[in-house]
Amino acid sequence: MPSRARIATLADPRTFRELDRKLVSVDPLRFIDSKSYRERLKEARRETGLREAVTSGVCRIQGQRTALVVFDFEFMGGTMGSTVGEKVARAFEYAAKARIPVVSVAASGGARVQEGMLSLMQMAKVAAAASLHGREGLAFLSVFTDPTFGGVTASFASLGDVLIAEPGAQIGFVGPRVIEQTTGVALPEGSHSAETLLRGGLIDMVAPRHELRETLAYLLSYLRRKKKGKVRSETPPSARRARKLPASQEVLLARHAGRPTARQCIAQMTTHFLELHGDRQTGEDPAIVGGLAELDGQAVVIIGQDRGSTPSERESSHGGMAYPEGYRKALRLMQLAGKFQLPVVTLVDCPGAQPGYDAQQRGIAYALASNLAAMAVLPVPIVSVIIGEGGSGGALALAVADRVLMLEHAIYSVISPEGAASVLYRDAGKADALAEALKLTARDLFSLGVIDTVVPEPEGGAHLDLASTAAAIQVHVLDALRATSRVSARRLLARRYAKYRHVGKVGVFWRETLRAGIREGLETVANLFPHATEP
């Protein structure tokens, strides 16, 4: 699509004002191949009516003031020389000074060969300018169109907070033809397509051209540094006193095949959920679902461990057992929340992280450790909800939070009862007894101070009523956000550090255990001698 037509489809009518229109390329190397570089520039200007391969300016997208950078492939293949690099860098600098976001639409063959090393150095220039803009806490949305290769892909275009591609767009560092000619290896069909990159975790989404303006406007409205507002207050309903069930029965309820999944809860609890994909490195993991959403009008980043609700979903999401790329995706979304000061809500439901050799080779331990460390210092409110099975470090890597909530019949444990029975007795038949000993129920963990709130479930379990379960989670999450949203980042982090610093601390833990024992003893005496305290 020509750059002028592209601008017309994205910008509000009569709002686009071009920047740096007078900047044009010269011939610094006096380059000649079959014809001179000067002649090629003249031809490109004559054929396209443009002065350069990129047009930059300021506009409004659904009323939101935005810097817009649009490439035109018809002008010398959209290649980036000194002037193109200068215009892109100036657009980022202007946006940083004006404190507005940037939207770029790339279509490029890469570096402009006719400018030699001067062209290559533009990659560093524009990447630095994009970083300068990002350090101001401003949004950068990057759109890849067909084709986008070389120095544009490998510089600013891949640095967007959100990466969007048009369907079928060919995207990469080196094109498939060049790879095949260089290596002699035939590439699979669609090796460089937008859809392949999405499956590979390298972009966030594929958006049809007719939906692009709406998608950009939605993202621009959310990815702005928010002043801390007051979350609407709604007191959670009084929890009925739950009937204490054997721990083995709680395990069965937590694992019930019909129990609400993270994706189902997100659909029920939120509006305008826009899913973002990939870790930008090695893959997309369906076991972790996350993106931007509204929770009763409050913009949040929401992330969940999804075990799937159908056999095919359970297979693709490995039953909620995420690979390193899933945890890296979650980390990227949390960092996005930190940049734009959005609260984070996590829904935890997994038997554990992937334990296999391939996960080990891909860095599962480092991925879990990175999440634990990042969540400890993320400068926004974090609320985690254990909605099903919280298994070991795989669960904890999404549950380092200011408030940890837990559904009434969920479980949360260092190891599964079956795993503990295997380790301690080499006998899976001991699992029921160990379920009790592990203190993995919501009631037990509340008593131990591991969680902050028990969220009541419908009578008989969450699997019997998805809507009311999701509503209960929503109310309790909003209550937790209300309690944390007015606290300064410094105090929030200090409290979060103290919360985890004191978990299991011997002095505190044993004092609480002693007090609990005394309370239980007094209750026992009162039950045995009900009239002993009467006057």
pLDDT tens by residue, 143-172: 999 999 999 999 999 999 999 999 999 999
Per the DSSP assignment, residues forming a β-bridge with 294 are 271, 299
**Same-domain status, 470 and 406:** yes
**Same-domain status, 191 and 280:** no
Residue 20, pLDDT > 70, answer yes
**Same-domain status, 473 and 366:** yes
Residue 414, pLDDT > 70, answer yes
pLDDT score for 341? 96
Decide if 321 is inside a domain.
yes
Cis link prior to 147 (omega < 30° from 0)? yes
Decide if 390 is inside a domain.
yes
**Same-domain status, 303 and 439:** yes
Domain boundary (166, 188, 222) is at: 222
Comparing CA positions, the residue from 261, 354, 253 lying closest to residue 308 is 261
Contacts of 146 (CB under 8 A, 6+ apart): 107, 166, 168, 169, 170
**Same-domain status, 183 and 259:** no
Type and span of the H or E element at 478: helix 466-485
Read off the pLDDT band of 507 (50, 70, 90): low
Read off the pLDDT band of 236 (50, 70, 90): low
pLDDT score for 457? 95
By CB atoms closer than 10 A (0-12, 13-18, 19+), residue 196 is: middle
* Lowest-confidence pick of 203-217, 332-346, 377-391, 421-435: 421-435
Report percent pLDDT > 90 for the chain.
Answer: 82
Arithmetic mean of pLDDT, 169-191: 92
Report percent pLDDT > 70 for the chain.
Answer: 93
Which single residue is written with the structure tokens 């980390």? 331
pLDDT score for 430? 86
pLDDT score for 502? 85
Decide if 181 is inside a domain.
yes
Residue 508, pLDDT > 70, answer no
Arithmetic mean of pLDDT, 189-201: 96
**Same-domain status, 294 and 214:** no
Decide if 227 is inside a domain.
no
Decide if 504 is inside a domain.
no
Q: Give the pLDDT confidence of 427-480 residue by residue, as tens digits.
A: 878 888 899 999 999 999 999 999 999 999 999 999 999 999 999 999 999 999
**Same-domain status, 290 and 151:** no
Q: Give the pLDDT confidence of 81-135 residue by residue, as tens digits.
A: 999 999 999 999 999 999 999 999 999 999 999 999 999 999 999 999 999 999 9
**Same-domain status, 252 and 123:** no
Type and span of the H or E element at 345: strand 344-350
pLDDT score for 234? 60
pLDDT score for 509? 58
Read off the pLDDT band of 232 (50, 70, 90): low
**Same-domain status, 156 and 13:** yes
Phi, psi of 145 (to 5 degrees): -120, 180
Decide if 500 is inside a domain.
no
**Same-domain status, 251 and 171:** no
**Same-domain status, 209 and 347:** no
Which single residue is written with the structure tokens 């959310």? 222
Residue 526, pLDDT > 90, answer no
**Same-domain status, 212 and 280:** no
pLDDT score for 227? 54
Q: Give the pLDDT confidence of 489-502 residue by residue, as tens digits.
A: 999 999 999 999 98
Q: How far apart are the first and last CA of the chain?
A: 90
Residue 250, pLDDT > 90, answer yes
Residue 230, pLDDT > 60, answer no
Read off the pLDDT band of 278 (50, 70, 90): very high
Decide if 269 is inside a domain.
yes
Contacts 24+ apart (CB under 8 A), 466-470: 466/260, 466/264, 466/265, 466/268, 467/268, 469/260, 469/265, 469/407, 470/260, 470/264, 470/265, 470/268, 470/269
pLDDT score for 243? 61
- Using CA atoms, how far apart are residues 130 and 141, in angstroms rounded to an integer? 11
Decide if 361 is inside a domain.
yes
Residue-range definition of the domain harbouring residue 212: 3-222
Q: How many domains does the chain have?
A: 2
What's 20's domain CATH number? 3.90.226.10
By CB atoms closer than 10 A (0-12, 13-18, 19+), residue 95 is: buried
